[in-house]
Amino acid sequence: KNEVEQSPQNLTAQEGEFITINCSYSVGISALHWLQQHPGGGIVSLFMLSSGKKKHGRLIATINIQEKHSSLHITASHPRDSAVYICAVTPGTDKLIFGTGTRLQVFP
Amino acid sequence: NAGVTQTPKFQVLKTGQSMTLQCAQDMNHNSMYWYRQDPGMGLRLIYYSASEGTTDKGEVPNGYNVSRLNKREFSLRLESAAPSQTSVYFCASTLDSLGANVLTFGAGSRLTVL
């Protein structure tokens, strides 16, 4: 069993839909990161969380440390949101453990 | 633009050839990382450098060497390339601790070993 599990693995949505991607982890962490990778593109850091909730534009990330769970929400989804979203956790300070990603496709 | 620059973007090698992937950051970050990304496996850490002058093995270091040349630069060398090293390689950096800082990635280097 992977230490970081994401669900779903693949997700399709119509433009405008509210999207949720989940991340569960099994180790103690100091922080959780959400990353975005567009097809054929580089990787961009969206959020780093150690507690609570963060919001940036249409993206919201939440974390529940007790339940070892985080969610990434996208409101009013758009085709440009189509990408792979990767959850990663920091058990210490030097390294990240990555999930295998959630592939999101948003259709017009 | 500030960020992480890695070169080359694409490279094709024959088995047994050597090459070096270069990475430089201009954000005054202390920690630098080399990852490989393979389909269905997520990102895996090859080597990292927590500060200038130090390097440590990650999850998949076999077949690779690294050099932290100075605070800005962290290179990855394949001494004798193998087909199993066909992958996309990403360099990344962070200010200090990953528990308190985001990671900034380079654009990636796609390596094919024939």
pLDDT tens track, chain A, 108 positions: 689 999 999 999 999 999 999 999 999 999 999 999 998 778 999 999 999 999 999 999 999 999 999 999 999 999 999 999 999 999 876 788 999 999 999 999
Residue pLDDT, tens place only, B3-38: 999 999 999 999 999 999 999 999 999 999 999 999
The residue of B7, B37, B43 whose CB has the most chain A CBs within 10 angstroms, and thus the best one to mutate to test that interface, is: B43
Average pLDDT, chain B: 93
- Say if A79 is an interface residue toward chain B (CB within 8 Å): no
pLDDT band with cut points at 50, 70 and 90 for residue B1: low
Cβ–Cβ below 8 Å for B42 and A45: no
Q: Which pLDDT belongs to residue A1?
A: 63
Cβ–Cβ below 8 Å for B107 and A42: yes
- Of A42, A45, A90, which has the smallest distance from its Cβ to B99's Cβ? A90
A56-60, B40-44, B50-54: least confident range: B40-44
Query: What three-state secondary structure class fits A8?
Result: coil
- Say if B6 is an interface residue toward chain A (CB within 8 Å): no
Cβ–Cβ below 8 Å for B43 and A48: no
Q: How far apart are CA B9 and CA B36, in angstroms?
A: 14
Spatial strand order of the sheet with B4-7 comes to: B4-7, B19-25, B74-78, B64-68
Instruction: Kindly tell me if the per-residue pLDDT of B57 is higher than 90.
Output: yes
Cβ–Cβ below 8 Å for A93 and B43: no
Per-residue CA distances from B95 to A45, A60, A94, B39, B53 (Å): 14, 24, 11, 29, 16
Cβ–Cβ below 8 Å for A33 and B103: yes
B55-59, B76-80, B91-95, B100-104: least confident range: B100-104
What one-letter code names the amino acid at B79? E
